[in-house]
């Protein structure tokens, strides 16, 4: 018994029409881009999480702005370290006892948070596109397969199962692949977004600590 006979899906893939194979190729290409994006963003966010954990420990031991300044100057500029750098840089140029100094530092921290969140969310729109476009591509293959089945009925003048089945089976294959591509993209986007929100909460806590030390330094 051949491989195609043992596995019906393999048989269908080997005998798909040109149109069905073209749609399936687009779906597979979309899947490769989606999985690559998932791996890239997951690795990036994990690295930021580990960096933030170290930074939070150093922040907890800091007793002055100078301590924070020294801590943020070491290591890669990502996550909480970048956010604090924005705050420290702003604090360093504000004149002593400025009436709105704390508000200016807070604004700088918020700008750093916004930039870091935008950096981490970069390319995640590809996951949204994949989760939305995958089923539609599958539906396109489904419509084409059904049209092909009806064309075969008209051409052969028969509605027997042997005439209709190939087109319908091909339609179901593209639908299956479209859904399989969309599910991990949608789930991955939700999980990554949740992790980014968690990081953002840590950045807000770290920023508050910096503002508190700034106010203390102003007496």
Q: Which helix (H) or strand (E) holds 100?
A: none
Q: Is 38 helix (H, G, I), strand (E, B) or coil?
A: helix
pLDDT of residue 3: 40
Q: What is the pLDDT of residues 28-85, one digit of tens each?
A: 899 999 999 999 999 999 999 999 998 998 888 888 888 888 888 887 778 999 999 9
- Please state, in angstroms and rounded to a whole number, the distance separating the CA atoms of residues 87 and 141: 53
- Please state, in angstroms and rounded to a whole number, the distance separating the CA atoms of residues 96 and 59: 23
The single-letter DSSP state of residue 95 is P
Give the residues of the chain that fall short of pLDDT 50.
Answer: 1-6
Chain centroid, CA 102 distance in Å: 34
pTM: 0.82
pLDDT of residue 15: 61
With contact defined as beta carbons under 8 Å apart, do 86 and 195 qualify?
A: no
Q: Which string of DSSP letters, residue by residue, matches 130-149? A: HHHHHHHHHHHHHHHHHHHH
pLDDT of residue 65: 86
With contact defined as beta carbons under 8 Å apart, do 120 and 44 qualify?
A: yes
């Amino acid at each position: 018994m051949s491989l195609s006979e043992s596995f019906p899906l393999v048989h269908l893939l080997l005998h798909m029409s040109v149109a069905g194979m073209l749609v399936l190729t687009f779906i597979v290409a979309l899947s490769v881009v989606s999985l690559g994006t998932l791996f890239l963003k997951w690795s990036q966010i994990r690295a930021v999480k580990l960096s933030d954990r170290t930074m939070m420990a150093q922040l907890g031991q800091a007793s002055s702005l100078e301590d924070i300044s020294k801590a943020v100057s070491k290591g890669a500029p990502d996550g909480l370290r970048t956010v604090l750098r924005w705050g420290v840089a702003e604090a360093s140029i504000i004149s002593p006892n400025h009436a709105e100094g704390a508000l200016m530092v807070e604004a700088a921290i918020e700008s750093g948070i916004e930039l870091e969140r935008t950096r981490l969310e970069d390319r995640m729109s590809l996951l949204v596109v994949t989760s939305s476009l995958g089923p539609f591509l599958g539906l396109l293959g489904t419509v084409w397969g059904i049209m092909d089945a009806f064309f075969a009925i008209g051409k052969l003048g028969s509605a027997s199962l042997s005439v209709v089945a190939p087109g319908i089976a091909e339609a179901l294959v593209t639908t299956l692949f479209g859904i399989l591509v969309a599910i991990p993209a949608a789930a991955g986007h939700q999980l990554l977004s949740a992790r980014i929100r968690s990081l953002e909460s840590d950045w807000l806590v770290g920023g508050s600590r910096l503002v508190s030390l700034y106010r203390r330094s102003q007496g």
